[in-house]
């Protein structure tokens, strides 16, 4: 399976310009699955709720949905993308899994970071698995990575690949995702943004370092801070083997009756 990510610096509130950036970065890629960053279409640094009201979209409708669906059909691939979701009176930091035939997956960020608490509602959707081209895929968003329970839940449900759409400002995540891959024996795809966002006297610098890691912890690719689109070949079947030695199957030998719950 050919999987990849897009890393770029979105312009706040400039959806059409961000679509064009993604289109240019995807143009030469040949992939089965492409992962985009968190809030790829709007940028991250909201200053007030009204900005969120104006930029958020409902799943299955709106210009972002239309753009991604068109791109999926043009490239004949699945795309996972982050966006600000409006649902009734609530707003969620969400990802959608889009295929050429339409939406096949949806997740809302469970663990909000920093000032996201001022704008978004914590996610209320379960950690579900979505099958695409015979491969089981789970989705997380940014700060979810710091809670190992989230990825372990997806792995126990059968995920072979877990994607993390992110806007990282802390340095921990790329290395932590190597650990998440090892302890669950799965592939992980981190799609981060890059660049600096400065608005209203606030400034955030995003680290980039998007990467793809194998079930044994091998970093198959890790980039720096540049804007880029990267694809690698993986064998998802490797994530079905939970043995680290001939005598140690890390899932079969779990002791949940002893763990805190």
* Catalytic positions, written as ranges: 38, 109, 142
SS (H, E, C) 208-243: CCCEEECCCCCEEEECCCCCEEEEEECCHHHHHCCE
Helix axis angle, 148-156 to 173-184, nearest 10°? 30
Nearest CA to 236 among 252, 251, 250, 220?
A: 220
* Helix, strand, coil percentages for the chain (3-state, nearest 5): 25, 35, 40
User: How would you label 77-108 residue by residue, b for 16+ Cβ within 10 Å and e otherwise?
Assistant: bbbbbbbbbbeeeebbbbbbbbbeeeeebbbb
| DSSP SS3 for 186 | coil
Neighbour count for residue 171 (Cβ, 10 Å)? 10
73/102 Cα distance (integer angstroms): 10
48/237 Cα distance (integer angstroms): 45
Which residues, in sequence order, are CB contacts of 169 under 8 Å at separation 6+?
204, 205, 206, 207
């Amino acid at each position: 399976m050919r999987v990849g990510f897009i890393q770029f610096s979105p312009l706040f509130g400039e959806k059409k310009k961000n679509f064009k950036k993604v289109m240019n970065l995807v143009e030469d890629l040949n992939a089965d699955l492409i992962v985009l960053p968190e809030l790829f279409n709007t940028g991250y640094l909201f200053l007030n709720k009204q900005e969120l009201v104006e930029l958020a979209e409902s799943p299955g409708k709106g210009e972002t949905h239309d753009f991604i669906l068109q791109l999926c059909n043009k490239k004949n691939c699945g795309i996972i993308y982050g966006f600000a979701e409006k649902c009734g009176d609530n707003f969620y930091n969400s990802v959608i899994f889009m295929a050429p035939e339409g939406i096949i997956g949806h997740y809302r960020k469970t663990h909000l970071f920093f000032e996201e608490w001022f704008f978004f509602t914590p996610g209320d959707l379960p950690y579900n698995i979505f099958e695409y081209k015979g491969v089981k895929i789970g989705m997380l968003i940014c700060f979810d990575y710091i809670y190992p329970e989230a990825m372990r839940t997806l792995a126990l449900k059968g995920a072979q690949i877990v994607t993390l759409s992110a806007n990282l400002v802390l340095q921990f995540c790329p290395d932590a995702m190597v650990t998440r891959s090892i302890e669950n024996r799965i592939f992980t795809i981190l799609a981060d943004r890059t660049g600096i966002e400065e608005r209203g006297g606030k400034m955030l610098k995003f680290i980039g370092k998007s990467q793809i890691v194998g079930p044994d912890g091998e970093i198959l690719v890790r980039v720096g801070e540049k804007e880029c689109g990267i694809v690698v070949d993986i064998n998802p079947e490797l994530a079905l083997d939970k043995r680290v030695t001939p005598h140690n199957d890390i899932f079969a030998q779990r002791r949940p009756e002893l763990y805190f719950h």
